[in-house]
A = this chain, B = another copy of it.
Amino acid sequence: MANNFYPVILAGGRGTRFWPLSRKKRAKQLLALDGKQTMIQQTVARLLPLARPKKLWVITNEDLQPAIAKQLPRLPNRQLVAEPVMRNTAPAIGLAAFLLLREDPTAVLGLFPSDHVIDDEKRYRETLQRGIKIAAAGANIVVLGIRPTRPETGYGYIEVGGAYQGEALRVRRFTEKPDAKKADEFINAGNYFWNSGMFLWSARTLADAMREHLPVTATLLEEIAATFGTSKFAAKFRKLYPKCENISVDYGVLEPRSAKGEEAGNIFCLPADFGWNDLGSWTALHEHRTAKSSPPEENVMVASGMFLLNARGNYVHAPGKFVAAVGVSDLVVVETPDALLITTREHAQDVGKIVKYLDEKKLNKLV
């Protein structure tokens, strides 16, 4: 176990696609969608064999901070950082780099989304340990890549080139979410991976990359980080953070760095063969739950009891209720104390439109 490894969990996302269960103050990462623990609790539990709680950092927003503090009681309070305004991943990750550079100049950071599912945790940690070694060895950036199984247009892709130290591959290029035609080409080409959003790099490498590619934001973040642990931090954070560029780390740092060329970029892709699912919708959750043990036409019921007659492929979330499903297929029905969603597995990606409507109508209690 590398004692300079610092996991940084990004937990500021809103996750509207799990409405009505997910809300502004109870985002996807705070839900127990798969098992008894919430997504962020599972993320932490997976990482604890590699890093003690005092090395763990969580970056979130002010809406979610109280709930996360409650769900992660062992996390030291200072390491739960709440952005005063929402920014994309580059400022959040950059801030983590500058904060940790002051904690430990040799720090190797692991960046982790807080709301993904991992099937094989042992293999996950083995992969991370290999990645940590590469990241610690110099000005290297390691990204965990998922071997694509379909021409998904919802993810960023990584184009890889030659092999490096066994299973790692040199990264040629990061691309934003492609259209369907491009996604097809990527799949057929064979040397593309999905960008998992999991990165490993030293705090120094990341700080340098920020200074090079996003110099204005880097200066602001350094100024914020310099006050960390003092009484001035909160005010400085609130004043300067909104001035940071609202840009993703992929677009702001990794793409320009990879543009230097395969050799000069020093970015490496580690194939992640540990079973990964980002649970992007109710449909993805249904597929994940049925893939584990049952045929895909299976019903998944979160309920106190059930009666099923000619019912196939439904996902029903109604904890504490007796659910009777008769003559219905491929539905998604989710019940909370104040709302009821009725849709199909096919239409579940439209759930974001409901949240948009509720936002517009200022039905704040429901979002």
Contact = CB atoms under 8 A, between A and B. Distances in A.
Interface stretch (A52-60, A106-114, A285-293, A351-359): A351-359
Q: Kindly report how many copies of this chain are found in the complex they form together.
A: 2
A225 B82 CA distance: 78
A316 interface: yes
B344 A316 contact: no
Contacts of A333: 333, 340, 342
A346 B327 CA distance: 8
Contact of A326 (B314, B318, B351): B351
A310 interface: yes
Given A350-B327, A354-B307, A322 B343 contact: no
Contacts of A343: 324-328
Contacts of A253: none
A316 B328 contact: no
Contact of A322 (B303, B316, B339, B350): B339
Contacts of A311: 342
A347 B335 CA distance: 22
A56 B303 CA distance: 45
B322 A340 contact: yes
A86 interface: no
Given A305-B363, A307-B357, A335-B335, A328 B344 contact: yes
Interface of chain A, helix or strand or loop or mixed? mixed
Interface string A301-329: 00101010111001010101111111110
A262 to B, nearest CB: 45
Nearest to A354: B324
A307 B340 CA distance: 10
A322 B347 contact: no
Contacts of A7: none
A323 B340 contact: yes
A305 B365 CA distance: 12
A324 B309 contact: no
Given A314-B342, A335-B340, A342-B333, A366 B322 contact: yes
A341 to B, nearest CB: 5
Nearest to A348: B326
B325 A342 contact: yes
Nearest to A331: B342
Contact of A353 (B309, B328, B331, B353): B309
Contacts of A326: 341-344, 347, 350-351, 353-354
Interface in A14-38: 19-20
Contacts of A19: 324
27 contacts: A20-B324, A303-B340, A307-B357, A310-B347, A311-B342, A316-B340, A321-B338, A321-B339, A322-B338, A322-B340, A322-B358, A322-B363, A323-B339, A323-B342, A324-B354, A326-B343, A326-B350, A326-B354, A327-B344, A327-B346, A327-B347, A327-B350, A328-B344, A328-B347, A331-B342, A333-B333, A335-B340
Given A310-B347, A326-B351, A328-B342, 14 more contacts: A20-B322, A309-B353, A316-B340, A316-B342, A321-B339, A321-B340, A322-B338, A323-B339, A323-B340, A323-B342, A324-B340, A325-B342, A327-B343, A327-B347
